[in-house]
């Protein structure tokens, strides 16, 4: 009987443990938010970037414009970063 | 060394370059302006566009129509060679295969020139070394003393087996049209087998080949209908299109133009081509029909390149449009040289 009570006490979580676990999950969520949006941005910029280099190779005057177009998908990773920061703080 | 896998990036890069180049081609309004210019003004105008380098290089050696013609040929050859350099992977193989058409044209031009006893310089002026046979190889061909030696010099090239077989008993001019037909048939057969070999992008390439064969066959049908020369026509028909040679043979027996178009339209799959055929019920000259067909082909290639933006289509569409820009400028210059009226010259332009 005494052995069973000891075993139950050992599996119960303390408040500190729960808090630490929540913090870990938040950090994990923030990491996923930034990581996945980063991949999305990379994929989008891959196509735009190669088209931008192609267009610039033919006409150097469009460099400023294509640079602007290339960084537009950066907004995706910025959204991820904002979500990550909101989760953490 | 391990192959670097860059995914779709090189395709996007090169297709964008082709689109930018296509946007730089002369628009319709410029041709209309040029129609009212003299030959020297046209030369000056061309010099201000992308042909500046060639015109500047050749201006010391040539004048007038010769200067324009050679500058245009050089520009086209340079452009095609450059595209072969920048296209990646399988697109390079497909582009090279398509450009072999110029090899046939160049070899036949050299053979015809030799048979007519033309000067080497004159033959060189009309060659466009855009295919597998480069400028230096063609120069060597031109310097060969006889047509038979020219064919021997082609040993190892794609056109050699057919040429050597056809001209076993010596090169005679009356055989050239038949050999030309055979060479083009072999060329298209090679393209079809390449497209069907499971190569990446082969399906899109096959779409283009089918369109090209259909347009060529329909154009030939109209031409031979005007000449009433059915036997010759069947020799020029290229298999591999949507309309089979047997169907074409049946169509050639239809004498009435309306009935001919009624029978032809259901066999054509391309909507714009069907619409054009409906318009061809009224009598038109062969030249007008051919130019209308070319316009339809270019329009269809343009829409195919929008449907498959990162495939062989944008490259082929640009190559074809560039070719017709050169043809237009040449027609303009020649027309002006012969003092033709602007209206008459306009009839020869693909705009």
Report the pLDDT value the prediction gives residue B1, as an integer from 0 to 100. 40
Same domain, yes or no: B205 and B142: no
Which range marks the domain in which residue B271 is found?
A: 201-351
Residue B3 above 60 pLDDT? no
Same domain, yes or no: B234 and B345: yes
Task: Show which of B198, B215, B234 is a domain's final residue.
Answer: B198
Residue with the larger pLDDT of the pair A3 and A75: A75
Residue B154 pLDDT level (bands cut at 50, 70, 90): confident
Same domain, yes or no: B306 and B348: yes
Same domain, yes or no: B297 and B194: no
Q: How many domains does chain B have?
A: 2
Report the pLDDT value the prediction gives residue A1, as an integer from 0 to 100. 56
Positive/negative CA dihedral, A82, A84, A87, A88: negative
- Burial class (CB within 10 angstroms; exposed 0-12, middle 13-18, buried 19+) of B343: exposed
Q: Domain spans of chain A?
A: 20-88
Residue B167 above 90 pLDDT? no
What is the domain-level CATH number for residue B141?
1.20.1690.10
Task: Show which of B163, B198, B233 is a domain's final residue.
Answer: B198
Residue B2 pLDDT level (bands cut at 50, 70, 90): very low
Domain A20-88 CATH class label: mainly alpha
Same domain, yes or no: B207 and B327: yes
For residue B20, the chain A residues in CB contact (below 8 A) are 54-55, 58-59
Q: Which of B80, B20, B68 is nearest to A65 (CA)?
A: B20
Asked if A46 reaches chain B (Cβ–Cβ under 8 Å), the answer is: yes
Question: Is residue B49 within 8 Å of residue B26, measured between CB atoms?
Answer: yes
* Closest Cβ–Cβ partner in B7, B13, B20 for A59: B20
Does some domain include residue B346? yes
Report the pLDDT value the prediction gives residue B299, as an integer from 0 to 100. 93
Same domain, yes or no: B283 and B329: yes
CA distance B185 to B191: 10
For residue B24, the chain A residues in CB contact (below 8 A) are 58
Same domain, yes or no: B214 and B313: yes
Segment of A27-36, B242-251, B261-270, B329-338 carrying the highest mean pLDDT: A27-36
The size of the A-B interface in CB pairs under 8 A is 32
Same domain, yes or no: B337 and B217: yes
Same domain, yes or no: B129 and B163: yes
Residues from B contacting A (CB-CB < 8 Å) are 7-10, 12-17, 20-21, 24
* First CA to last CA distance, chain A: 46
Asked if A54 reaches chain B (Cβ–Cβ under 8 Å), the answer is: yes
Same domain, yes or no: B219 and B96: no
pLDDT in tens, B95-144: 999 999 999 999 888 888 888 888 888 888 888 888 888 888 888 888 88
Same domain, yes or no: B194 and B227: no
CA distance B132 to B103: 7
ipTM over 0.95: no
Task: Show which of B198, B219, B245 is a domain's final residue.
Answer: B198
Q: Do B20 and A51 touch (CB under 8 A)?
A: no
Does some domain include residue B37? no
Report the pLDDT value the prediction gives residue A5, as an integer from 0 to 100. 63
Does some domain include residue B44? no
Same domain, yes or no: B321 and B235: yes
For residue A57, the chain B residues in CB contact (below 8 A) are 17
CA distance B182 to B105: 13
């Amino acid at each position: 009987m005494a052995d069973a009570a000891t075993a139950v006490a050992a599996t119960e979580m303390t408040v500190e443990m729960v808090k630490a676990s929540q913090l870990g999950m938040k950090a994990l969520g923030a990491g996923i938010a930034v990581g996945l949006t980063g991949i999305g941005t990379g994929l989008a910029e891959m196509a735009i970037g190669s088209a931008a280099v192609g267009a610039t190779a033919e006409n150097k005057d469009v460099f400023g414009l294509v640079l602007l177009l290339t960084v537009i998908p950066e907004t995706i990773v910025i959204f991820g970063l904002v979500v990550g920061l909101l989760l953490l703080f | 060394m391990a192959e670097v896998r860059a995914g779709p990036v090189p395709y996007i890069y090169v297709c964008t370059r082709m689109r930018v180049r296509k946007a730089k081609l002369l628009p319709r309004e410029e041709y209309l302006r040029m129609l009212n210019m003299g030959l020297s003004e046209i030369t000056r105008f061309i010099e201000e566009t992308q042909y500046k380098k060639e015109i500047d290089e050749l201006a010391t050696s040539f004048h007038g129509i010769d200067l324009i013609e050679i500058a245009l040929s050089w520009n086209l050859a340079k452009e095609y060679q450059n595209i072969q350099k920048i296209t990646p992977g399988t697109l390079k193989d497909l582009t090279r295969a398509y450009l072999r058409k110029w090899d046939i044209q160049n070899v036949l031009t050299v053979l015809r020139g030799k048979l007519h006893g033309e000067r080497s310089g004159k033959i060189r002026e009309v060659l466009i070394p855009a295919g597998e046979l480069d400028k230096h190889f063609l120069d060597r061909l031109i310097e060969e003393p006889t047509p038979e030696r020219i064919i021997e010099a082609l040993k190892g090239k794609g056109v050699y087996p057919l040429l050597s077989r056809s001209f076993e008993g010596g090169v005679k001019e009356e055989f050239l049209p038949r050999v030309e037909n055979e060479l083009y048939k072999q060329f298209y057969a090679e393209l079809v087998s390449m497209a069907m070999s499971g190569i990446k992008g082969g399906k899109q390439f096959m779409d283009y080949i089918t369109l090209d064969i259909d347009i060529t066959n329909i154009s030939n049908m109209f031409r031979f209908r005007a000449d009433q020369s059915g036997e010759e026509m069947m020799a020029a028909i290229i298999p591999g299109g949507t309309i089979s040679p047997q169907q074409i043979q049946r169509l050639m027996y239809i004498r009435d133009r309306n009935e001919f178009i009624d029978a032809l339209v259901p066999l054509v799959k391309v909507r714009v081509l069907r619409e054009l055929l409906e318009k061809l019920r009224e009598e038109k000259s062969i030249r007008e029909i051919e130019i209308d067909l070319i316009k339809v082909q270019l329009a269809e290639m343009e829409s195919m390149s929008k449907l498959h933006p990162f495939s062989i289509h944008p490259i082929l569409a640009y190559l074809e449009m560039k070719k017709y820009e050169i043809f237009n400028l040449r027609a303009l210059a020649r027309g002006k040289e012969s003092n033709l009226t602007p209206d008459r010259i306009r009839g020869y332009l693909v705009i």
